[in-house]
Amino acid sequence: MTHENKLGMFIHWGIYAQAGVQEQVYARMNWEREEYEKLAKTFNPVNYDPEKWVLLAKEAGMEYICFTTKHHDGFCMWDTKYTDYNIMNTPYGKDVLKMLADACKKHGMLLSFYYSCPDWHHPYGYNPASTHQWKAVMRDDINTEIYREFVKNQITELLTNYGDIYTFFWDIPPRIYDPSLNELVRKLQPNIYINDRGYDKGDFSTPEREYQSVDGSRFTRMTEACNSVGEQSWGYRSNEDFFSKRHLTTSIDKIMALGGSYLLNVGPNEKGEITEEYADRIRKVGDWYNRMEGCLVCHEADTFNYKVKKNKVFVTKKDGKSYFHFYEGTVSSSVAFEYFPKKPQKIRLMNTGKELGCTIEKLPEYQANGQAMTHLHISGIPIDDLVSEPIIIEITW
């Protein structure tokens, strides 16, 4: 294994949840500033219970939570001294981040922070070198240095007051090189991992939504992909178009089989609840993931040329066993390998835990010069029962 990989929960939550549209509703729907920012005066998530969030993540086999401390709108979800535009100046008036940090510590869940580089509220938030600047406060006297000092003050709060932090997720590359920000992050949290969307290179890359490996090569550096359970929004959307369990589990299997981590996002509503339609999708993904018994983490590439017929597959190895990730399922109830190191001692279908049978035989379908070729033939896969999830087969040689 070249780096860590884990499954985690991404949480996009802020005053935008009240609109029930999207986390960038202010820009995407072109709201007036006064209309949007008055949402801070009505934000009162009276049903917020971070333990429920943490326990949902644990139920799904997730090992960390990445929380949006500040999104592009500039609203801060913690008790910050550097702007009044924060959770303490709402009807709720409690540090929701502190509550989440305490719940994570109680239940052994790692905690990560998301922090937006764009800031549509700060008077010096406008950065002409970057993107996502549509609603920034425009000024003739552009001064990104003043804004970076503000950012340093805020990340000092975040990385000092909330315990050990697993990863730091900058969002939207500022296209300004300033290594002092990541240096500060590392000074405050020596064991932290930092992504590549900030003011310096960072430790890990962050492909978003859909990622396609060109040749199935493993990631050469720490990688964390992310997607939301919904197609239209990362924040809460009242009439969201949800991805299928098959789409999400296929995406997770592809990324994690290549050695990456995966953040699966939900958007809590204005009351602080991860509603059942969101939670149900997390549970369905978790049901599949937990049946994989940890084979998606801390593995290595299996480089033997098996030449698996007719199916797309990534192959990994862990604890002396090989794992065949048929991330789009299998085309039939069997799989055939043209090459194999020796006869398997045991073959197990991770999806069900059942042992599968195999033969080493000539298969009429596969020929060379008109003659049937010998293959390792694994049969008895209940494909019609597994249409909504990737198929993973464990082989002990």
**3-class secondary-structure state, position 392:** strand
Of 174, 168, 182, 75, the residue nearest 133 (C-alpha): 174
Per-residue pLDDT tens for 15-31?
999 999 999 999 999 99
- Residue where a domain stops, chosen among 268, 291, 314: 291
Give yes or no: residues 259 and 313 share one domain: no
Count of domains in the chain?
2
pLDDT of residue 216: 74
Give the Cα separation of 180 and 199 in Å (integer): 8
For range 351-374, the mean pLDDT: 93
Q: Which residue has the tokens 């339609």?
A: 277
Give yes or no: residues 338 and 267 share one domain: no
Give yes or no: residues 218 and 353 share one domain: no
C-alpha separations of 253 from 21, 316, 322 in Å: 29, 11, 15
Q: Has residue 327 been placed in a domain?
A: yes
Q: Has residue 45 been placed in a domain?
A: yes
Give yes or no: residues 283 and 305 share one domain: no
- Tell me 53's DSSP state: H
pLDDT of residue 1: 41
Question: Residue 210: which pLDDT band, with cuts at 50, 70 and 90?
Answer: confident
Per-residue pLDDT tens for 223-274?
999 999 999 999 999 999 999 999 999 999 999 999 999 999 999 999 999 9
Q: How many helices (H) and strands (E) does the chain have?
A: 8, 15
Give yes or no: residues 98 and 134 share one domain: yes
**3-class secondary-structure state, position 130:** coil
C-alpha separations of 212 from 147, 207, 287, 324 in Å: 36, 10, 25, 18
Residue 275's domain comprises: 7-291
Across the chain, mean pLDDT equals: 96
Per-residue pLDDT tens for 78-133?
999 999 999 999 999 999 999 999 999 999 999 999 999 999 999 999 999 999 99
Q: Has residue 2 been placed in a domain?
A: no
DSSP 251-278: HHHHHHHTT-EEEEEE---TTS---HHH
Per-residue pLDDT tens for 48-85?
999 999 999 999 999 999 999 999 999 999 999 999 99
C-alpha separations of 29 from 94, 125, 135, 348 in Å: 29, 20, 11, 51
Give yes or no: residues 286 and 305 share one domain: no
Q: Among positive and negative, which fits the CA dihedral 49, 53, 58, 59? A: positive
Q: Has residue 368 been placed in a domain?
A: yes
CATH of the domain at 385: 2.60.40.1180
Bridge partners, residue 335, by sequence? 378
Give yes or no: residues 91 and 74 share one domain: yes
Q: Has residue 1 been placed in a domain?
A: no
CATH of the domain at 110: 3.20.20.80
Cite the DSSP H helix spans in 258-359: 276-291
Query: Is pLDDT at 209 greater than 90 in this prediction?
Result: no
- Residue where a domain stops, chosen among 291, 324, 355: 291
Give yes or no: residues 244 and 329 share one domain: no
